[in-house]
Amino acid sequence: MSSLLRSEEMSLVQIFIPPDVAHPTVAELAKLGRVQFKDLNADVNPFQRTYVAEIRLLDEMTRRLVFFNSLLEAENISARPLQHSTSAHLLNPSSDSHYASLLDSLNLELKDQEIRLNTMNASYDTLRKRLGELEEAQHVLRETAIFFERAQHRIPDEERPTRGSFDDDRAGLLDNAAEAGRADLPDEGGLGGAAFELEFVAGTIDRARMPTFERVLWRVLRGNLYLNWAEIDEPLTSAMAALPASASQAEQEKAKAMRKVVFIIFAHGDELRSKIRKISESLGANVVPVDPNPSVRENSLRDITSRIEDISVVLYNTNQTRRNAVSNIAEALAGWWAVVRKEKLIYATMNKFSHDQRRSALVSEGWVPTRDISAVQQALYRATERLGTGVPAILHELRTTTKPPTFHRTNKFTEGFQSIVDAYGIATYQEVNPALFTIITFPFLFAVMFGDIGHGFIMFMTALYMVMKEKELAKVKNEIFSMFFFGRYIILLMGAFAVFTGFVSSSKTYFFPPQTVYPFTDPIPRF
C-alpha cells in the first residue's frame, strides 16, 4: 500500500495493440494518465517512423491555425474560450469510428477556410491598393490645378502652404532656380496656349524621402529643373495597401502615421524627364500621368472621384465579409487548437511503438503504478468495445531489473507542496518523499520569518476564497493568477501559521499607534 511518504510501486507492462484500434486506445490511456510509455524506436530516424505522415499533416494544420491567429489579432477579435467553442465536441467524438475520419475532415475544413480567407484577403488588398493609387492621383490632380491657378493669378506663396524651388528663403538646394522660376511661369492668357505646353512629371513620395529626392534630382540634373511640392495632410489608403491583410495593429498604426507629398517637376527634354521618372521610381515615388490641358485634368479628376466612391463601397463590403468570416473562425479556433494538440501528442506517442514480427500488431512498453493495472486493462477494454472490433489489446507484466521511475500520487492539496520539492530534486524510486514534511515545515518557516496577525489573516482569507470558489476560478486563463491559484492551499496554510506565530510573538499590523497583543506590565529590568 503506497502513501505520500514513499513513491508508488511501479510495474513494467507490455501491450499488444491491433493497428486499427491504436488511436482510440492511446486516447483512452491518455485520459487515464497512468502510463509512461518507453520509446522502442530510439534508434530510428524521426522521419522514418510509422506515423510521420500524420505528424506532417498536423504541422501543416498548425501553420493554418497560426495564420488564423494572426488574422484575429489584425482584426482585434478574441477567440471564444474552449468550453464555449463551437468545435469543442471534436475532442470527444460521439463514436470511435469517427477517429479515422476526424483528422481528414478537420484538415479539409481548415484548408477550405484558408483558401477562402486568402482569396478574400487578395481581393481586399487589390482593392485597397487600387483605391490608394486613385487617392494619390486625385491629390496630384488637385495640387497640380492649384499650382497652375497660383501661377495664373500670381497668388502669394503665403496663401498656400506649398514648397517650391522658387521659395527664396527655404529653397535649399534649388536656390539657383529662384530667379528663373517666376519668369517661366505662364500668365493668365496662357491657358491652353504655348506657355502650358511645358511638360512636367508629377506624383507622390514619402515625406521623409523628400529631402533626399530633392538632393538627388539637383545633382543628377545639375539644376536644370523646376520643382514644386505640397504636403498631403490626411493619411492615404496607399500606405495601408502596402501591408498584408493579416498585418498586426502596430504595423497598421505605423502605416497610418506615414505622410506623403505631391510633387510637380518641370524639365526640358525627354531625356531629363526620363531621368526624373527613373529617380522617382527608385526612391519609391508614384508617378502619375497628368495632362497639361486643364479641361482634361478636370474631367480626369471627376472620373477618379467617382471611381473612388465606387471602390470604397466595394472595399467596405469586402472587409465586412472578411471580418464575418474571421469572426466565425474565432468561434471554433480554440477547439481546433485543442484537437490538433491532442492528435499530435497521440501520434507522437504511437511513434514510440514497434511492430511484432508479422507486423500484425503494435507493441508498446511502459511503466504503470501496480495498483492501476486493472484500471489500464479496463481502459483497453473500453477502447476496443466502443470501436466494435473483436480483437482486444493484450496487456501483461514484464519482469525487469531496471530501476522504475518515481511517481508520487498527489491530490489538489498536496500537489503544490510536491511541486516545491520537485523543483529542487526528485527522489529516487521508493525513497522517502520530503513533500510530506514540507506540508508543515514550509508554512511554519514562512510564518517564523513573516509572522503577523493582520497580514496573515489577509493571506488566509484570500486563499480561503480561492479554495471555496475553485471550480469557477479554475476556468480563469491568466498566467499570473494561475500561479496563485495553483498554490492556494500553500497560501492558506502560510496565512494560518502566520496568524498563529503573530499571536505567539505578539505581532500584529499597526494601522494605529503601536500596541502589543500581550502588553508587558513589569518594567524592563536594568543592570
pLDDT value at residue 329: 94
The reported pTM is 0.74
pLDDT at 188 over 50: no
> pLDDT, tens digit, for every residue of 383-393?
888 777 667 88
pLDDT band at 176 (very low <50, low <70, confident <90, very high): very low
What order of strands is seen across the sheet that includes strand 226-231? 162-164, 226-231, 260-266, 200-206, 286-288
pLDDT value at residue 248: 58
pLDDT value at residue 162: 44
Q: Which of 196, 218, 200, 216 is nearest to 262 (CA)?
A: 200
Look over the chain and give the mean of its residue pLDDT values, rounded to a whole number: 82
CA neighbours within 13 Å on the CB side: how many for 42? 5
pLDDT at 168 over 70: no
pLDDT band at 97 (very low <50, low <70, confident <90, very high): low
pLDDT value at residue 332: 93
pLDDT value at residue 55: 93
Min mean pLDDT across 302-316, 451-465, 509-523 is at 509-523
pLDDT at 262 over 80: yes
> pLDDT, tens digit, for every residue of 468-504?
999 999 888 888 999 999 999 999 999 999 999 888 8
Q: Which of 222, 225, 220, 233 is nearest to 164 (CA)?
A: 225
Can you spell out the DSSP letters for 253-273? HHHHT--EEEEEEE-SSHHHH
